[in-house]
Amino acid sequence: MSLFIKKPLEQLMAQAAGDSSKSLKRTLGPGNLIALGIGAIIGAGLFVRTAEAAAEAAGPAVVLSFVVAAIGCAFAGLCYAEFASMIPIAGSAYTYAYATMGEFLAWIIGWALVLEYALASATVSIAWSEYLNNLLGGAIPYQWCHSPFEVSAEGVNGIINLPALGILFFLTLLLIKGTQESAIVNAVIVFIKVAIVLIFIVIGWQFINPVNHTPFFIPEGTPGHDSFREWGIGGVFGGAAIVFFAFIGFDAVSTAAQEAKNPKRDMPIGILGSLFFCTILYVLFSYVLTGVAPWQEFGVAGKEASVAYAIQNYMPGYEWLATLITVAILAGFSSVILVMLMGQSRVFYSMSNDGLIPKVFSELHPKFRTPYKSNMILFVFVGLFSGFVPGSLAGDLTSFGTLFAFVLVCAGVWVMRVKNPEAKRPFATPLVPLVPILGMLVCGALILSLDPFTQLVAMGWMLAGLVIYFAYSKGHSYLRNAK
């Protein structure tokens, strides 16, 4: 039987219509979905990538870099919105690929999403631990907040990263308790971090020095900026490649489609609304940051501490705001982990319902109707990584998984328009096939721009996925066994 056997659209729609005790609860409205998107998008990327892009490529024109990156994300976002309104089922890009390009590619993308969601959760939890210890002034002993593969400058060996495991455990319990409860906590976290970002924008606006925005583009011949991607208009696009990853996460909204009250209306609002809101916030933030401090200093001051550096050196009397920024980063990390863990468990839920992975991943809690066993297994898997492996090993694997998903979703919209032109589309991606093609080109180019080591590891991961598919998933597929 063909590797590219497709799950009928009618079967997916029938599955979406079901709302019994055997399915996920529909508890999320458009506000919850927008908050989920913002929760996944605004992490440390806002505080780290802005200064990095300004120092390495764009200068004050990093403002335009965010606009370019947002346009690139919008291509994929528009395609996600069409699918999410058409096929309101948990599983996101995996489910869409199953309906448009067949089981084999659906498995490939489901396996790639593990890189985005599970590894992102582990990597971010490790960073969460580092920032917490910084906030506490290094009160946590080195050996209890680092992996066994790390050694301090004083020769102390790490044992286990307990804070990383702690935040993962707490958020896993929250997800098991219920999607609505998780969404409420996420909304509170989103409010805190957005409020702190807005405080920085409002206060920082008073300290903007117009000299720092002149010239707006990095001039040709600037020392250390020899490549075309490091000055002028080219620098804007070079900066866009850097800040693009600060937008990653909006696709996690689509994994909650089966828990949306009115997915045909609310999913496009959640996906595109969160993208639009975050773009405005990013543009304002980058304008203020590069106006408060000279962009040249961000390459020297330490990218992670760039915002605190700008506040402490150029905003006298507001040193307390630097501490609030650290709180905002911790809040941002927490909501990113929450949404990523939820997204991964929902992808596993759909794959399990199709027979491609064991049934345990789709078993729901009798009271909370959440995939609690999947959440617990995911905690063990992610926890092993975050507790015992350095975060640096993840590299850009998360970005690979995300971009790969974007490419296939864009292709899927195009395929569905050709194969099922009569299908009802509550939200239709405009300018098809132009928008999907542009989405594939932008995301494909960014995959090629990843470093060779990341590409090699990603290839190894995908090969491992192929072994699992042919050894287990292909023979257990419900769709194949029903034929």
For residues 175-192, average pLDDT = 82
Q: Where are the alpha helices (DSSP H) in 366-431?
A: 372-388, 397-419
Q: Please report, for residues 142, 169, 177, 193, 324, the alpha-carbon distance to residue 163 in angstroms, rounded to integers and kept in the order given.
A: 11, 10, 21, 20, 20
Q: Closest Cα to residue 11, out of 93, 80, 99?
A: 99
Q: Residue 241 corresponds to which amino acid?
A: A
Tokens of 144: 């209890």
For residues 228-254, average pLDDT = 80
* Residue pLDDT, tens place only, 369-424: 888 999 999 999 999 988 887 765 554 577 788 888 888 889 989 988 998 888 88
* Cα 287 to chain centroid, rounded: 23
Q: Closest Cα to residue 36, out of 250, 318, 193?
A: 250
- CATH homologous superfamily of 32-481 equals Amino acid/polyamine transporter I (1.20.1740.10)
- 């489901």: which residue's tokens? 110
* Residue pLDDT, tens place only, 67-114: 988 888 889 889 988 888 887 776 678 888 888 888 998 899 889 888
Q: What is the pLDDT of residue 95?
A: 84
* Residue pLDDT, tens place only, 414-465: 988 998 888 888 889 999 999 999 999 988 887 877 778 778 888 898 999 9
Q: For the chain, how are helix, strand and coil distributed in percent, rounded to 5?
A: 75, 0, 25
Q: What is the pLDDT of residue 150?
A: 82
Between helix 45-53 and helix 306-314 the angle, nearest 10°, is 80
Q: Residue 33 corresponds to which amino acid?
A: L
Residue % of the chain over a pLDDT of 90: 25
Between helix 103-135 and helix 452-468 the angle, nearest 10°, is 130
Q: Residue 106 corresponds to which amino acid?
A: A
How far apart are alpha carbons 218 and 240 in whole angstroms?
A: 14
For residues 232-251, average pLDDT = 81
* Cα 446 to chain centroid, rounded: 15
For residues 254-280, average pLDDT = 84
pTM of the predicted structure, to 2 decimals:
0.79
For residues 168-184, average pLDDT = 86
* Residue pLDDT, tens place only, 457-482: 888 989 999 999 999 999 999 988 87
What is the pLDDT confidence band of residue 38, given thresholds at 50, 70 and 90? Answer: confident
